[in-house]
Amino acid sequence: MATYEDFEKLDIRVGKIVGVENFPQARKPTFKLTVDFGPEIGTKKSCAQLPQNYSEAELKNKLVLGVVNFPARQIGPAVSEVLTLGVPDQEGNCILVTPDKDVPIGGKLY
């Protein structure tokens, strides 16, 4: 069982998607995202299986939550520096976890 201290080790921040690219080299439909987490964290790259539920235009400027202190992962020819958080829809495709109000980027989940 995880403890509260385990949860505190995660650094989950609000980011704004500032760039979206198709990622045809991925095994499943995926976008490469550029996410701005504010001046403390900066801009980071993420790979996310989102094309089933989002267009590139819908994602641009969207606020999302991301784990910013995991080690980078190699995803085919790309590197994912943060884990963009989502939950499955009825078909198991990703729906992003997003703030429902306009909040400052870089804000830490608590």
Domains and CATH numbers, the chain: 11-96 (2.40.50.140)
Other Cβ atoms less than 10 A from the Cβ of 44: the count is 20
Q: 8: Cβ–Cβ under 8 A, 6 or more apart, which residues?
A: none
pTM of this structure: 0.94
Name the residue among 73, 80, 10, 12 with its Cα closest to residue 50.
80
- Identify the band that residue 55 occupies on the pLDDT scale cut at 50, 70 and 90: very high
Other Cβ atoms less than 10 A from the Cβ of 65: the count is 20
Is 70 in contact with 80 (CB distance < 8 Å)? no
Tens of pLDDT, residues 26-53 = 989 999 999 999 999 999 999 999 999 9
Tens of pLDDT, residues 89-108 = 999 999 999 999 999 999 99
Is 29 in contact with 71 (CB distance < 8 Å)? no
